[in-house]
Structure 1
Amino acid sequence: GLKINTPFIAPGDALYLQGAYGDGAQLYTGYSAYTGSYTQSTTTIQGQKFAQYFSDATINPFTGQLQTSTSFTAVASYLHYWTPEWRSAFFGSYGEQSFSNSARLAQGAVYSLVSGLAGSNPFGSNAVGTPGTRFYNLSQALRDTYQFVAGGSIIWSPVKDLDIGVEAFYTQIGLKNGRAIDLDKSPTAYANIAGINNGTFAVRTATQDSVSQVRFRVQRDF
């Protein structure tokens, strides 16, 4: 990380730059900080079109070895004082999480074996699908994703340790490549895997989802 003071613009102004890279340690890059890090898959946005996978590693069922995921994040923010009582912050961040090339193939091979014996989908919404099928190409499990966040704020501090203001930010989450089943428009897709593969079940797909948020903030520090 790096902080650059810019008093030549206004007293107290500063530019902040941060970056992080993790191998099997996405908690330390902050990639999952928006929704919490202790879940295998999560929908960052309420009603999101597809879930993100936050696994640090997956087990190769044929070798027993861990295959780690990698993630990185980069953040830039600027703090500006309009007056000693009024200030704004502007920020943006970008991050990615990627899984090893063979992770989905190995998990898909196990799915094919187990579902074939069971005669159904025993994996629920964590199903990877049989490699080479349409469902495998569209399933959300262990897909490489990115996140983009940008926002700003205006804060008034009439007295010391009291902040009153408005904050707004935009979040976009997407797949690094390909498409995924849109669970918002096709909520029963994971119960119709055979129909997706043979083309008898129409399924909607998506590449990204986004949300904008605005909040009013009153904070008193003691």
Structure 2
Amino acid sequence: MARRILLFKHIIFTVFCVIAFHNQVHSKRIYALRICVKNGFDNSLIKNAQILFDTDSSNVYFTDSLGFVILDSCTSEIINYTIKHPLYKDYVGSIYNRKRKEDVSKHVRITLKEEFLKDFFQPYYAKSLKEMQHNIELYPDSCFNATFPGGEKFMKKFFLMYSEYPEKAKENYDKGKVYASFIIEKDGHISTIKIIKSVSTEIDREFKRVIELLPSFIPSFCEGVPVPREVIWYASFYIN
């Protein structure tokens, strides 16, 4: 009987040691961290973006021609990083891998600095203008609405990337849809911005600021002639 008890204790101790060893090895598992950096508008890959990791502050990493950077020796559950590029706004992010069982990949979309917006949108403007001219040739007696370079999809992305929820509006729990009207002039630039449905002073001001950042539109045309046109645009501000 005593032998059986001793054998049972030995088995329990052995199992405990195996589990402890497994957990120790697992906790020190090294995995690769891959970050792919993209342009927030068109998802084009960004090379030579500088990435700083808090777990490896002594080294500076750069994305390759495919927009990737790989940190091939990670043991931390949380990796904080900062992305820097001369054409884009700095981006600070984190990757959390609780189980640490496998390599981690993340796609990050970063935002162009305002001073480079005109250059970025130039090819999209040229393409949209060519499409407008084609439509005018097909239907010379018709009227066509103004067009945002890159289309409505880019216009929505523009608001999402460049708008910020005002801190005071958050404190006051201000939320809702704000509406504004503005004129797209014959040369495509924006003028006469008016808030026609308000949410709060701070949100109204922020929406107007984003509208002022918009690049030039393809203007409206009637019977082949550019004409000014009033546009109404709205945006939703809600606290998550």
TM-score range, shorter chain: under 0.3
Decide which structure has greater strand share.
Answer: 1
Which is higher, the Rg of structure 1 or of structure 2? 2
